[in-house]
Amino acid sequence: MNNFDVFPKKSLLFAPMEGITDEPYRIALMKTFPEWDHLFTDFLRVPTVGKVTERMIVEHYGERILKNPEWRKKNSFQILTTERAQTKDVVDILESLKMDHLDLNLGCPSKKVNSHFGGAYLLSNHKALSHVLKTIRSNFTGHFSVKMRIGYRDDSNFSDTLKLIQDEGVEAITLHARTRDQLYKGVADWSYIKKAVEEVKVPLIGNGDIWIAEDIENVFKETKCHSVMFGRSALKTPWLAKIYKDYVEDDGNIDDTYLLYERKKYLELYFDALMVEYRQIGWADNLILKRFKSFSRNLFDDYEDFETIRGSFLRAETLEQFLGHLYALKG
């Protein structure tokens, strides 16, 4: 395909995140904060051995989403694979399901993933990368994109990697503006996003240290990127897409008082929506509490006494106690 129409220009994309963007999470976001233009599954780790089944693929994507045409338009499937893994088997199933959009993870910095020659490691091995890209592109007729970093150890083959990815038929590139070895340290260098925009002919999606509405506006202006993807910032402010669209409509006149008011208003809505979806799949209180605590690490930094507030949520012994802290915070 030559026309990448999965999402329009200047879309705001909620990043694929392991252990977070499962089906109930994505459904809760679509219902509660529909301002997000697109969402992604967390990566499916393509196995090297064992049988690959359609059930495995459908459960990862989400059967409810698969059956809902409108939800399907807003959701894409991400995989993490290696040269030796059963990539073709997975792609064949995605093709049979008529999946619209497949994204390949070339950015995961995990030591375990990289030691098995997946994720960001592939940026350092163009032979293996080419094999994986060819396998996907020759067997998948839907839209195909990758999410990558600027390099593995360094940026020495950055331009060559971009050219390889484009030449192998990838139709869009999301670029996290750090190397694998940088992990999430320092500040993402948006100049790489600008450079990539200038070097490739496919849509370039910017990613990295885009925390607030002004950042979104600035990255669009500075880099001319097609769209923007949010990871940690989306976990901190799951309604960030709404704030940005309000910001644009209000000519940039959003102050800190408004933002804190929004946070108090939407925190309860966010957790209530997640509760509904986790209950829908039969999760017990202890599982919901564990997941809620993991989200709480990102949500309270804008409060003056954020460490105390966050600590109270992380120390909650029951789901009821956690929700009690939440309702007290709103008041």
Q: Which residues are annotated as a binding site for FMN?
A: 78, 147, 176, 231-232
Q: Which helix (H) or strand (E) holds 244?
A: helix 240-249
Would you state the structure tokens that stand for residue 256, as one six-digit string? 């800190």
Give me 26's structure tokens.
């994505």
Which burial class, exposed, middle or buried, applies to 318 when counting CB atoms under 10 A from its CB (0-12, 13-18, 19+)?
Answer: exposed
Catalytic annotation, residues: 108
User: Within a 10 A sphere around the Cβ of 300, how many other Cβ atoms?
Assistant: 20
DSSP reduced 3-state for 40: strand
List for the chain the helix, strand, coil content (%; round to 5). Answer: 50, 15, 35
Place of tokens 């409509």: 249
- What distance in Å separates the CA atoms of residue 88 and residue 284, rounded to the nearest whole number? 36
**Three-state secondary structure readout of 44-113:** EECCCCCCCCHHHHHHHHCHHHHCCHHHHHCEEEEEECCCCCCHHHHHHHHHHCCCCEEEEEECCCCHHH
Q: How long a stretch of residues is the chain?
A: 331
Q: How far apart are CA 257 and CA 128, in angstroms?
A: 51
